Amino acid sequence: MIKSLTATTREIDDPQAAVTEILAMLAPEKNLLQNSVGIISCFSEFEDTGALKAICDALPFPCVGTTTCLCSARNEIDEVLFAMIVLTSNDCEFKPLMIPITEQYEQVIHASINDMLEQTAEKPALFLSYFPLMNTVSGDMILSAIDNATGGIPLFGMTTVDHTADYSSAKTICNGDGYSETAVLCAVFGSPKVEFGIASIDDSNIRKQKAIITESNGNTLIGVNGKLAIEYLEEIGYTREEVCSGLGVVPLVIDYMDGTKSVVRAVFTHTPEGHVVCGGEMPVNATLGLAKHMEKSDVLKTTGVTLRTLAEKGSAILSYSCIARYLVLGMDNTAEAETLIETADGANYVFSYSGGEICPLPDANGKLKNIFHNYTIVFCRLS
C-alpha cells in the first residue's frame, strides 16, 4: 500500500521560510511510513535562490522531479510555486537513479539500468521518469532506450520545461539539484496498485482522412503514402511556414495498428530535404491522421472526463499535461489545473506542465506498451 502527503510553498526568496512551511505541511515525524520519496514540480528559480536545495536537504527521504511553467498541489495553482507529493509505504520501496544523457546515451542507459537490476532481488513495478529537454536526444529516444533496457517495465512521467521562451532553465531534479542533460528515474519496488489514464484530442476533432507512413527515421517523418512528408502535408492544405511554426499547428494522430490507443504527435519543423521532425516516434506502416486545432473547450473536457474514471479519495495522483495544452488556454492558463482540482474527489495530487508525456497504454492483448505522447495529459494513480 502507498499513502501520500502533499505540500506547497511560494517562499522562493527565503529558503528557511520555505523549509518551515513544507515541514509544517508534511509533519514527516508523524506521517511517514518506512519508505518514502518526494515527487517535485517547481518554478526553476527555486533552484537559483537555494530554496529547492534547502527543502530537499531538510527532508528525510530522496526527491525527484522537474521544473515547469505552472504547477499545482493542495488546491494551490501558480507559476511561481513549489509543489510536491510524498509517496510513503511500509511494503513498497523507492530508489532514485540518475542517468546522464550523452552521445552514447543508449549504452549509458543500459549500463545504469542493468547495474540497478543486478543489485535488487526483484524487478521494479514501475519507473517514475523525468527526462531532460534536449535538441540532440529526444524524449522518445530516451524512452525507447530505457524500455529496451528494462524489458518493458512501465514508465510514467514527463519531459521538463520551464517558463522561458527557449526553455533554457528547464531541468530535471534529484535531491535538490537541477540537471539540464540528465534523466532522473525513481524505481518503485513491491506491489503497488497502479492505474494509468490519458486524455488528448477528442475523437470528434480527428479528420476522417487517413494515410500510411511509408518511411521514417525515429521521430523524423520522411514519407507518407509514398510521397515526401512535406509534400503530403502541402497536398492536404498546410504550408511549409505552418509546419515550421511549431507546436500547435499540425497535430498528427498515429495509430500503431496493434490495438493500442492512438497517440498524438506534435510537428516541430521540416528539413531542407522535405522531412518533417515530430515530437515522437513515427513508425513505418502506422496509420497517420490529422486533428483540428485544439481549443480551450477540448482541453477542459478531455481532462475532466478522464480524471473522473481515476479519482479516488485517499489515492495519490500524478498528472502531467503537455505545454501545448497550456498555450491553448491563453490568459486563462490555470483552467486545466482548476478542472483537475474540481474532479480529483479528495485524492492527493501533483500536477504540472511538460514538454512531452510518458505513459503506457494497453495493446489489443492488454499488455502495457510504453509510449511518449504530445498534446496529452497523463495520469498515474497509486495506492
> For the sheet containing 155-159, what is the strand order?
93-100, 182-189, 126-131, 155-159, 357-362, 368-373
Q: Which of 275, 52, 76 is nearest to 172 (CA)?
A: 52
Beta pairing, strands 276-278 & 267-270: antiparallel
Identify the pLDDT of residue 332.
96
Structural domain spans, the chain: 3-198+298-382, 203-291
Which region among 92-106, 134-148, 288-302 has the lowest average model confidence (pLDDT)? 288-302
pLDDT at 247 over 80: no
Q: Which of 138, 133, 141, 142 is nearest to 164 (CA)?
A: 133
What CA–CA distance (Å, rounded) separates 334 from 83? 15
Contact 354, 377 (CB under 8 A): no
Question: pLDDT per residue over 118-138, tens digit each?
Answer: 998 899 999 999 999 998 898
Share of the chain above pLDDT 90, in %: 73
What CA–CA distance (Å, rounded) separates 372 from 144? 9
Question: pLDDT per residue over 259-271, tens digit each?
Answer: 888 888 888 888 8
Q: Which of 104, 175, 168, 89 is nearest to 142 (CA)?
A: 104
Q: How many CA atoms lie within 13 A of 234 on its CB side?
A: 14
Indicate the residue type of 102.
T
- Report, as an integer, the average pLDDT of 186-203: 92
Q: Give the max Cα distance, the chain.
A: 64
Identify the pLDDT of residue 355.
93
Question: pLDDT per residue over 319-363, tens digit each?
Answer: 999 998 999 899 999 999 999 999 988 899 999 999 999 999 998
Contact 51, 18 (CB under 8 A): yes
Q: Decide: pTM greater than 0.85.
A: yes
C-alpha cell read off for 22? 513544507
Identify the pLDDT of residue 146.
98
